[in-house]
Each structure stands twice: as C-alpha cells, then as structure tokens.
Amino acid sequence: MSKLLPTVLVAACGLLHCGPTLPVKAAVVNCTTKQPIADAQFDRMGNISRTGADGTWQTTTIGNGGFPVDVFKEGYKKDKFKLEPGDKVNNICLMPDGT
C-alpha cells in the first residue's frame, strides 16, 4: 500500500494542476486613460480578478490580436478563452461599464 501512495499523488497532481501557477507578464490598463489598474490581476489560466468595490467589467481586449473576452464578477470563470504557458500577451485593456 505504501509503495502505491506516491504514484497516486503524482497522478492526482497532474489532474488538479498542483503547484504554483505562473502569472502572465501582462499589464492591465484602463482603455481610455491607458493607466495601469493596480488591483486587477490576470493569470495564465484565463482568470481575471479584481479587489474592487463592484468587481464588474464588460470585456477585455487581449493585445495579441484584440480577441474580446467576457469578464464577469470575481469568482466566475470564463469558458471560452484560456491562456497557455508561453502565450505572448502584450496588453489587457479593461473597458468601463456601459461602453
């Protein structure tokens, strides 16, 4: 039994993505002012979170081709777009609500 335990743990980690998640080197800026948004974060798993009062966004624009991505309140996960390790992202532009 004890000899099987390491193998089971390795298999589980492979399925659950154990270990650190490397952030994508990308700036998150306001589309209008071009100023960085310090409390917004974007990681390689395709999640955007923000520690803001409302936490609501309309869309983001990914710099490599301007691909529109729906962004929801913190805690929700998008199902149409994910970054993979090695993807090059130049900029993330957050549009204000109502635009």
Residue 41 DSSP class:
E
CA distance 41 to 94: 11
Average pLDDT for 88-98: 49
CA distance 50 to 81: 18
Q: Which amino acid is at 20?
A: P
Whether the Cβ atoms of residue 23 and residue 41 lie closer than 8 Å to each other: yes
Please say if the pLDDT value at position 20 is more than 50: no
Whether the Cβ atoms of residue 93 and residue 60 lie closer than 8 Å to each other: yes
Q: 21-52 pLDDT, tens per residue?
A: 444 444 566 666 766 665 555 554 445 544 44
What pLDDT was estimated at residue 39?
A: 54
CA distance 48 to 40: 7
Please provide the DSSP assignment of 43-71 as one string.
Answer: BTTS-EEE-SSS----EEEETTTTEEEE-
